[in-house]
Structure 1
Amino acid sequence: MLIAHISDTHITNEVAFKSYAFDLIANEINTRPFDLVIHTGDVTNNGLREEYEHASYLIRKIEKPLIVVPGNHDARNVGYELFERYIGPLFGVHEFEDGVVIWVDSTIPDLSDGRIGGYKYKWLKAKLEEYSHKRIKIVAAHHHLVPLPDTGRERNVLFNAGDILDLLLSHEVTLYMCGHKHVPNVYRVEDLVVDNAGCTSCRKTRKGDVNSYNIVKITKDGVKVTIRRVTGEEQEKEHRPIKPKIFIPKGKRLLRIVQVAESNVSDRRYFRKKVLENAIKAINERYKPDIVIHCGDVVEKGIERFYEMAMEFYEKVKAEKLIVPGHNDITYLGYDLFKEYFGETEVIEKGDFVFIPILSAQYETQIGVVGRIGQKILKGLLEDFREKFRVVVMHHNLVPVPRARELGYLEDAGNVLKIITDQEAELTLTGHGGNAHAVKVEKTPIINAGSISWELHRDPFGNSFNLIDVYKDMVIAFEVQATWGSRKLLGMWKIKGEVPWL
């Protein structure tokens, strides 16, 4: 199966549209043996009738079977109704011999943001179940699913991206195709390939880039995505399915981490004191970790009384501790109190392992940022400790978690995620969103902790902490219910290739 993936043509009579780039890519598509062309939205620039009339003429230049998905620009000015008149259906299914393409409208009228919620979510879920027998399952929408590098401030990932990602992974979807941010990018999230197309014919490229489209080749061995620019430059990424899916660790355990977050110690009724006491007792007596990592929101508000209460709990933890501040921790006087009670967050080395804390919390807001200097520090530390098992620790989540509305929680998540995956960090731990969740992006498992003792969480499993064991050849993560001690597997990931940290 060979697919041409185009996006963000932004057809208009204004200077935003580069007609020569559209013609060049359309002609190139026509001369290659593509089975299908998928356009992932922003066909027009403003959703106006004259733009749709122009677009309906231009896209007919593509002489291949064509699927077109609506984008946020197409939905402007009630353009979603014109889309159906001039382009095609907002939702649909296209079957081929051993696969299916399911496309869905992710737009919100007159907003750049996206959402596949409510009835659209139910429809997508039903279609994935209906076509579960297909070997190849492709889902296409306009908005991106995971944060992208080089796009400025992250703010348009799907509102319910965590739910959609969870849905696609649970239904073993092969490929998610999208556009929107005008940056070509390919990530592997577990066995799912997330394919972002750049812009085909819009002047608004990022970082001085040029127009491009993606070539997707799907075989029984995996998925290969080639980013092809109008200059002729190409970048390839090939992903093969993980086999087998279940592993048995070899040798003795090398490291045990207990990961906690959102204890939110306070005198409010939402703080479950007994649950935290029970969890700390279990951590000390049953799990006996080498290190306890708290990924932020130790206290509910940054006031001295709450910090004093928190110290009474966490000084009982027998293992070595690494605590990074969350957004709650630095409210009011919390910025100074955190350092007074828990000290500066510093890199910790333990034999072949190194723990790299990254500060992302900002004053009086849930939105975090690492910043350009912080990104350079992170990249430098990952390079400096390349011979060790590197664990990046931060508060804000890099990958959307289920049951949480994503709205730019980490402004520069795209660039931070790119640094971590490019440097092939062995593990990343986060603690925002109130729900335990874990996925592997490229070669890096990213594990988010739920709330250990705060009633206002989003986890059906209840208050919990994570238990992470590292072996020579694999990493295993469990979520542990903080009251009863029952466990749920979050993930297990094979460590492949050379391990310089041994």
Structure 2
Amino acid sequence: MMRIAHISDTHVTTDAAFKSYAYDLIINEINLKKFDFVIHTGDVTNQGLREEYEHASYALKRIQKPLVVLPGNHDARNVGYELFEKYIGPLNGVYEKDDLVVIWLDSTIPDLSDGRVGGYKFRWLKEKLEEYSHKKVKIVAAHHHLVPLPDTGRERNVLFNAGDVLDLLLKHDVTLYICGHKHVPNVYKIENLIVVNAGCTSCRKTRKGDVNSYNIIKIHEDGKVEVTIKRVTGDRAERLFEIPKQRIFIPKGKRILRIVQLSESKVSDRVYFRERILENAIKAINEKYKPDLVIHCGDVVDVGIGRYYEQAMEFYEKIRGDKIVIPGHSDITYLGYDLFKSYFGEPEIKEMGDFVFIPILTAQYETPIGVVGRIGQKILREYLDEYRDKFVTVLMHHNIIPIPRSRELGFLEDGGNVLKILTSHEADLVLTGHGGNAVAIKVENTPIVNSGSISWELHRNPFGNSFNLIDIYPTMVVAFEIQATWGSRKLLGIWKIKTEVPWKD
């Protein structure tokens, strides 16, 4: 068994921001226990100043284990990234031990809190993952987080290309992604990737009255991964993950429900609106796919004015059967807030036998940034509790997982808390529609499916304009992306349902 100590955000400085007693307590504990090596995921110093690096260099030498240290955004301040290499070590690198490899990255941007794995560095990471593909355990370490975190206030300071990085890690069967940055310990399983955030080891700034902590990662010989959040108070939070082997799932039983999910039609008279593609897609939806329910996840029109809504209504009245339409940020610009309700109505909860669909409004006036809000979060929790005996699908416009080929700005400003609510309450399915690209990822037990643009030319999808087809069987959910022009399909994901859905005639 391999034992790893994961520390982060020590923020070594000469003032009270650095809690030296917490650092001493945690380092002494690490030295006394049987750890194979230690990883520090950045913010070694508080301001990247020379005297802080001198102090930090001395403090890190007290760790009596092999040590990997990578820079954080605070270390890169004041051109501190050059001092990092002088006093600490290389900004990027590889550490090997037996059948394990750690690839660490400098994700910082000088003088910004945000992060990025830039073009050349992204290519380097890909090359290293290919070079060490034979390793049984692959760990990628960087400072910045990949997915929104709970209890961090306003969601910002993510990796700008988090969607691309996450996609790369999943494609190369990376075991662990470990990071720090937001001073909140958290563990998620994203498909078969375990994402481990560290709290802060010795900084005064903790969140929500928490205390300093570090993570203990144990990698067992049978492939299981155990993560423990160890606080200086002695409190522990433990999780054990079993990484399953890749298997092919075959749907069993009769299909229970079929959903067509679309987004970003952006109906208008602008050249970017592809009217013919939307017409063809609607014809295919009606004649070929014949869904039980059509869900539009926002940005129905390009701008919230009357003639665009009239035009959009002409299109969507052609779709047969049940529909749910929720507003996106472009829908409520100008007069759109009132026009949306006049044409499409206020989105309401819809029950269909054993299934319930819960729309959550995230769009705000005149900004692509969305929010659920504290009251909205409370309502979401209440709905998930009320309908826990049904198959619950939550509908939103804004994405809560990063989208490949998109600059991630934390488009849902309270996305960390919303994601935690959805996963902790085990929502059965989440459908979103922001970002112009189709992607589907399971976080914990909750599949999250984002729709690409059905008829807007300014999208980010190499597959072209598309919509999603989601089939629900008694034991699994299957999601396909359908190319809106030619009808070709691509598998987005297959996930087992946590509780078998009964079939009702």
TM-score of the two chains, using structure 2 as the length reference: 0.98
Displacement of 1:497? 4.7
Q: CA RMSD in A?
A: 1.0
Distance 1:475 1:62 in 2: 48
| Residue of structure 1 equivalent to 2:64 | 63
Displacement of 1:263? 0.1
Distance 1:348 1:497 in 2: 21
| Residue of structure 2 equivalent to 1:30 | 31
SS of the equivalent of 1:489 reads strand
| Residue of structure 2 equivalent to 1:393 | 395
Distance 1:63 1:455 in 2: 57
The answer (yes or no) to whether the contact 1:166–1:402 under 8 Å persists in 2 is yes
| Residue of structure 2 equivalent to 1:74 | 75
Displacement of 1:61? 1.0
SS of the equivalent of 1:269 reads coil
| Residue of structure 2 equivalent to 1:442 | 444
Q: Does 1:426 align with 2:428?
A: yes
- What is the correspondence of 1:109-258 to structure 2 with a 5 Å cutoff? 109-219=110-220, 220-258=222-260
Distance 1:242 1:414 in 2: 27
Distance 1:233 1:315 in 2: 57
Q: Compared with structure 1, are the counterparts of its residues 193 and 268 closer, same or farther at alpha carbon in structure 2 (3 Å cutoff)? A: same
| Residue of structure 1 equivalent to 2:414 | 412
The answer (yes or no) to whether the contact 1:326–1:395 under 8 Å persists in 2 is yes
Displacement of 1:408? 1.9
| Residue of structure 2 equivalent to 1:302 | 304
SS of the equivalent of 2:494 reads strand
The answer (yes or no) to whether the contact 2:441–2:447 under 8 Å persists in 1 is yes
| Residue of structure 2 equivalent to 1:335 | 337
Letter in 1 for 2:214: Y
Distance 2:17 2:8 in 1: 14
5+ unaligned residues in a row in structure 1: which ranges?
none
Q: Out of 345, 350, 359, which is 1:357 matched to? A: 359
Superposed structure 1 runs of 4+ greater than 3 Å apart: 496-502
Deviations along 1:290-336, one digit per CA (max 9) or x if unpaired, are: 00000000000000000000000000000200111000000000000
The answer (yes or no) to whether the contact 1:388–1:500 under 8 Å persists in 2 is no
Q: Does 1:312 align with 2:314?
A: yes
Distance 1:459 1:56 in 2: 46
Distance 2:283 2:249 in 1: 30
Displacement of 1:241? 1.5
SS of the equivalent of 1:113 reads strand
Displacement of 1:501? 9.3
The answer (yes or no) to whether the contact 2:298–2:325 under 8 Å persists in 1 is yes
Displacement of 1:246? 1.4
Percent identity of the aligned residues? 75
Displacement of 1:222? 2.0
TM-score of the two chains, using structure 1 as the length reference: 0.99
Displacement of 1:372? 0.2
Letter in 1 for 2:154: R
SS of the equivalent of 1:194 reads strand
The answer (yes or no) to whether the contact 2:93–2:103 under 8 Å persists in 1 is yes
SS of the equivalent of 2:112 reads coil
Displacement of 1:245? 2.6
| Residue of structure 1 equivalent to 2:4 | 3
Displacement of 1:122? 0.7
Between the two proteins, the alignment pairs up a number of residues equal to: 502
| Residue of structure 1 equivalent to 2:466 | 464
The answer (yes or no) to whether the contact 1:389–1:501 under 8 Å persists in 2 is no
Letter in 1 for 2:215: N
Distance 1:115 1:466 in 2: 30
SS of the equivalent of 2:108 reads coil
| Residue of structure 2 equivalent to 1:279 | 281
Displacement of 1:224? 1.1
| Residue of structure 2 equivalent to 1:90 | 91
5+ unaligned residues in a row in structure 2: which ranges?
none
Deviations along 1:157-186, one digit per CA (max 9) or x if unpaired, are: 100000000000000000000000000000
